[in-house]
């Protein structure tokens, strides 16, 4: 009877705690990172063994680029549950992002911790895709003097391919692109498209073509992606490439107007950017009147974007 009474007394506290953690998770999903942080800090202080709350606090801090604070939360998780691969991965990730923001000397001092965290994550969970990706990127980007190695990077890309073929192909494409071997990068990005065919796969190949100045191939690849996925956002991407590189202007104009006609918030890119791309296209056509019409719409829509104002100055010089 006493045990039952004890549980009945405690039950409301468990319910409240669970509710608060769920609300914080929803805040993070809705990109309300500061609000989630403010909610979780006092809760974590009072509930230092609530691992979910600590992890969410680390996530909220990481999204705000507070890398030291985020790493401190993930380290708490490792101390309490040292055999959880994802905690090691997140700790290494926070340290890795910190390394990008500090001096080279400071970064070198934490490279060992970053590497060991990702390696531990893979050791604990050999199928941890994100940790394999982290090692692929780490080894190809690190200078050889501190352990960087293309062969090591390819080793983890091969391991990744055994877990997920499409991720393995994307990882190899990334390695060869980083190592300035565009033909091999193209080959593996195409394999990723054939195997998985996700928007990400198409996007990687498109960006490679853009970087290599192969704009017509970039447009063709975007059209293929649009045929497969039928996403309005692809119309913007085609228009963007046409506008940026002054190619296939009629197609670019058509696609941008389709994008605006079918626009919804889920498309991601605000309408103002489509107005800006149309202004670019009309500038390329030396149609000053139409170019000014569209750039003015872009500026009215997003008045703080400096590139729009710069573009208007260029149009006025026609």
Q: Is residue 136 scored above 60 in pLDDT?
A: yes
Average pLDDT over residues 88-92: 96
CA distance 171 to 152: 12
Q: Is residue 8 scored above 70 in pLDDT?
A: no
Decide if 43 contacts 16 (C-beta within 8 A): no
Q: How confident is the model at residue 287 (pLDDT cuts 50, 70, 90)?
A: very high
Average pLDDT over all residues of the chain: 91
Average pLDDT over residues 251-257: 96
Structure tokens at 261: 């006609």
Q: How confident is the model at residue 137 (pLDDT cuts 50, 70, 90)?
A: very high
Q: Is residue 13 scored above 80 in pLDDT?
A: no
pLDDT tens-digit map of 139-180: 998 876 566 789 999 999 999 999 999 999 999 999 999 999
Q: Is residue 5 scored above 70 in pLDDT?
A: no
Q: For residues 24 and 79, which has the higher predicted lDDT (pLDDT)?
A: 79
Structure tokens at 107: 């970064």
Average pLDDT over residues 208-222: 96
List CB contacts of 308: < 8 A, sequence separation 6 or more: 272, 276, 295, 298, 299, 302
């Amino acid at each position: 009877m006493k045990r039952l009474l004890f549980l009945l007394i405690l039950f409301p506290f468990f319910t409240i705690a669970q509710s608060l953690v769920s609300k914080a998770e929803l805040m993070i999903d809705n990109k309300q990172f500061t609000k989630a942080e403010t909610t979780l800090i006092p809760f974590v202080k009072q509930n230092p063994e609530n691992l979910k709350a600590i992890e969410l606090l680390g996530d909220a801090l990481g999204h705000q680029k507070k890398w030291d604070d985020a790493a401190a939360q993930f380290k708490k998780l490792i101390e309490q549950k040292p055999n959880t691969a994802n905690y090691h991965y997140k700790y290494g990730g926070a340290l890795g992002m910190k390394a990008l923001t500090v001096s080279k000397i400071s970064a070198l001092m934490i490279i060992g911790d970053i590497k060991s965290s990702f390696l531990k994550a893979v050791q604990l969970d050999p199928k941890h895709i994100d940790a394999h990706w982290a090692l692929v990127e780490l080894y190809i980007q690190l200078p050889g003097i501190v352990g960087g190695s293309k062969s090591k990077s390819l080793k983890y890309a091969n391991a990744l391919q055994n877990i997920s073929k499409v991720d393995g192909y994307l990882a190899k494409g990334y390695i060869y692109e980083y190592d300035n071997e565009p033909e091999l990068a193209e080959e593996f990005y195409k394999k990723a498209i054939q195997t998985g065919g996700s928007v990400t796969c198409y996007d990687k190949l498109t960006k490679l073509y853009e970087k290599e100045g192969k704009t017509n191939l970039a447009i063709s690849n975007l059209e293929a992606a649009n045929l497969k996925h039928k996403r309005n956002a692809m119309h913007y991407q085609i228009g963007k490439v046409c506008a940026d590189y002054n190619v296939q202007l009629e197609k670019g104009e058509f696609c941008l107007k389709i994008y605006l006609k079918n626009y919804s918030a889920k498309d991601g890119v605000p309408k103002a950017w489509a107005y800006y791309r149309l202004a670019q296209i009309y500038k390329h056509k030396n149609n000053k009147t139409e170019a000014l019409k569209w750039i003015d719409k872009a500026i009215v829509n997003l008045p703080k974007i400096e590139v729009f104002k710069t573009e208007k100055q260029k149009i006025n010089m026609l």
